[in-house]
Amino acid sequence: MSAKRVEPIQRMTVRDAIDELLGGGLFGRWNLSRLTGEQRIPINMFELPEGLMIVAPMPGLQPEDVELTVAGSVLTLRGRRTPGQEDRDYLVKEWDYGPYVRTLELPFPVDPDHMIATLDNGILTVNLRKSESVMPKRIPITKHGEHAGMTGGESHHSQQGMEPEVRE
């Protein structure tokens, strides 16, 4: 299987595009997520022969603080970081608290019975297996005349007038 490079814009939702637009230039770090009160979780997604691996930073969160759901080909990651000590007078405060969310349109259907998620040292790793319907299937190859129960098709030999020699 050959790897193909996917440009981020190809897998971007409308919300992601607006966040990206507002995240640069004159607007700095401000984005649509600030209007909704939800922070966008950055992710890396890798296609593997058997499925997908998604990695996302979730600093300060425990497994019980994170929720993963899948519906069809859509995966949603949710989390909530609670504030530590808010009664401080901060000189710089860039660490946001509150809900995190990221909804991903997956490139293919996944098997909901074969998903594994781990949260280790603030890094969430999600492994999703491809649905059997999209997995490559090996097609057995037999010798001419050994097709059990299949009729009506012409062989390559008969199409070119090269019937195999029959020996007795």
- Let me know if residue 30 belongs to a domain: yes
| Res 15 pLDDT > 80 | no
- Digit-coded pLDDT (tens) for 30-46: 444 455 566 778 899 99
- Let me know if residue 156 belongs to a domain: no
Question: Which residue stretches of 106-155 are H helix?
Answer: none
- Let me know if residue 125 belongs to a domain: yes
| Cα(16)–Cα(32) distance, integer angstroms | 9
Q: Which of 23-32, 53-62, 148-157 has the lowest mean pLDDT?
A: 23-32
Same domain flag for 29 and 79: no
This prediction's pTM: 0.60
Same domain flag for 115 and 128: yes
pLDDT value, residue 2: 44
Tokens of 144: 């001419």
- Digit-coded pLDDT (tens) for 99-147: 888 999 999 889 988 999 999 999 999 999 998 887 778 889 988 876 6
> What residue type is assigned to position 90 of the chain?
Y
DSSP 36-102: HT-EEPP-EEEEETTEEEEEEE-TT--GGGEEEEEETTEEEEEEEEPPS-TTS--S------EEEEE
- Let me know if residue 5 belongs to a domain: no
**Structural domain tally of the chain?**
2
Same domain flag for 48 and 63: yes
- Let me know if residue 164 belongs to a domain: no
Same domain flag for 45 and 68: yes
What's the domain range around 78? 41-83+97-133
